[in-house]
Amino acid sequence: MQDKINIGVAGCGYWGPNLIRNLSALPGCRVRYACDPDETRLHHMRELYPSLETGSDFDRLVGDDEVDAVVIATPVHLHYELAKKALEAGKHSFVEKPMTQTAVQANELIEIAAEKKLTLMVGHTFIYSAPVRRIKEIVSSGDIGEIQYISSRRLNLGLFQKDINVAWDLAPHDISIILYLLGKPPLSVNCQGKAHIHRDIEDVTNMSLNFENGGFATVHSSWLDPNKVREMVIVGSKRMILYDDNQPLEKIKIYDKRVEAPPHYDTFAEFHYSYHYGDMYAPYIKQMEPLKVECQHFLDCIKMGKTPETSGLDGLRVIQILEASSQSLKRGGAKVEIDQTLGVRPTAV
């Protein structure tokens, strides 16, 4: 491979230009080609990046011998088809979230990448944000004790999608963060929701993730809320964390609060809860654009042959939860078990 990794980007709509901007600014990378069916978008990209080759033919992009890696930022229904073509053409691949439409599709991409020894990375951008990284450090240190539950809310007015519901659109962010913090997938999912604007496309959902040993997390997603909310609460046995991504500076607040039950009591009269109210503090966090960190990580994984922190397997776990949430929605919120065997490859002998 050359000193610079040549990238082809598929999709120049909402998110693709942000990826092109960040990749173009990295010293070890050259964005060689941009692909999109809309000529107006391509013209705008050429104005910003005069050396950029553009076209509407994805086959031309993956057929270019000088392209080392492909970034896919298209509508979700195209992710699997384009990523499969890219991997089969020997290109390292970065796929925006959600990775695919089904867990079976995601598992197939993982297998192709493994067979061809290619990097497959999924765009779970919040895993590369400084606040989430800091929360992971705090949780791993044991400072807040054992996590009792996590509650997240991601709400706003729009943007309404036509091909996926609000859970598939917004919840991947929160699900990926929850899995990152807990380090394990859930055993089952319950989900309820309602479609108010477009028939059969839920614009409000409430999801519950059930983990082993009683672990629990909730994810509330909405396109139909008056205010933009980006909030997650992590409740530990010793302390509690509030993560508010809308805050410009104090995105993380740690509360020294907890509830304790008496360890020994003989009668109900002797049973008293103990409420601890301590201080609140907001740790300093040096802000960096998460997408820039994510793009650099993709390049590093290609160069060094490392497994990405948001690998194909991580993308698969999110898709499994989203699929289960869709099944649960159809069953009125009934519990749907998660297949724990997908993405688990036998150890080579």
pLDDT tens digit string along 149-202?
999 999 999 888 888 999 999 999 999 999 999 999 999 999 999 999 998 999
Taking only the tens place, the pLDDT of each residue in 115-135 is 999 999 999 999 999 999 999
Based on DSSP, count helices (H) and strands (E) in the chain, helices before strands: 9, 15
Strand 216-222 and strand 204-210: the pairing is antiparallel
Looking at the structure, do residues 77 and 213 belong to the same domain, yes or no?
Answer: no
- The CATH number linked to 219 is 3.30.360.10
Looking at the structure, do residues 142 and 61 belong to the same domain, yes or no?
Answer: no
- Nearest alpha carbon to residue 196 among 229, 222, 233: 222
For 233, the enclosing helix (H) or strand (E) is strand 224-236
Domain residues for the domain of 158 are 127-288+324-330
Contact (Cβ atoms closer than 8 angstroms) between residue 231 and residue 174: no
Give domain status of residue 346, yes or no: no
pTM value?
0.92
Burial (0-12, 13-18, 19+ Cβ within 10 Å), 150: buried
Looking at the structure, do residues 144 and 281 belong to the same domain, yes or no?
Answer: yes
Helix (H, G, I), strand (E, B) or coil at 50: coil
- Nearest alpha carbon to residue 29 among 73, 70, 85, 86: 70
Taking only the tens place, the pLDDT of each residue in 249-262 is 999 999 997 777 66
CA atoms within a 13 Å half-sphere pointing along the CA-CB vector of 240: 17
At which residue do the structure tokens 């007015």 appear?
A: 157
Looking at the structure, do residues 80 and 227 belong to the same domain, yes or no?
Answer: no
Residues linked to residue 204 through DSSP beta bridges, in sequence order: 194, 222
What is the pLDDT, as a whole number, of residue 278?
74
Instruction: Give CA–CA dist 247/38, Å, rounded.
Output: 36
The residue type of 92 is H
